[in-house]
Amino acid sequence: MTLPGALAALLTRLAVAAEPVLWDQPAPALELTDAERARLDAGEVVWRADLNKGGSAGRSMVLVRASEDQVWDVILNPDDYVLFLPYVTASWAEPKGQDLPQERLRWGMELTTKGVVTRYAVESRAAPASVGRTMRWEMIPSGASPMSRATGYWMSLPWGDGRTLLVYAVDVETAWWLPVMIHQTAADRGLPTTVALFGRRAEKLSVQVQEGR
């Protein structure tokens, strides 16, 4: 799939608009309570949702039975997002047909909800991290959308027993006012669902590798 001119222009704007505020930030600190560690060890998804003045934000995390490399194989392969993410009817990396970079990635996706199709341009860049790996991202819609902009990050940390802690964070700015209840519902559904789906995908690929498929 080839990006239309308007969306390609958005991709170019992403790099300019977000520098240096977003991309130059170091990897965020992650502090877990004893209760959160216990829930993670039990296989639960842990998330915290917060409302901000323009939308909603939050962070979710889950322990994945896969290596860090296998987790990042999923994150860095947007061509396959359409295979396991709900409402995603198309996803692609740019430029098409080339090896995907490990430090900087541009990609797009198409979401279809109630017959309405919206395309999004996304740029992801690796952030300096002393432990594990972190990649920040920014997403902008190419047409009418209740979301005007979203930023966030993926983070992975070794857990010490062969599992990987996968962390997903997002901060959404809406294009117009929406009731607080809608923001809260979206965060409470989207945060745990997203990190869980990526984790399950990595675990599935890990099993396939172990079985030699």
Q: Which domains does the chain have, with CATH numbers?
A: 5-20+33-210 (3.30.530.20)
Region 25-48 average pLDDT: 91
- Structure confidence at residue 73 (pLDDT): 94
- Structure confidence at residue 177 (pLDDT): 67
What's phi and psi for 90, nearest 5 deg? -165, 145
- Structure confidence at residue 161 (pLDDT): 86
pLDDT, tens digit, 9 for 90 and up, residues 10-26: 555 554 444 456 677 77
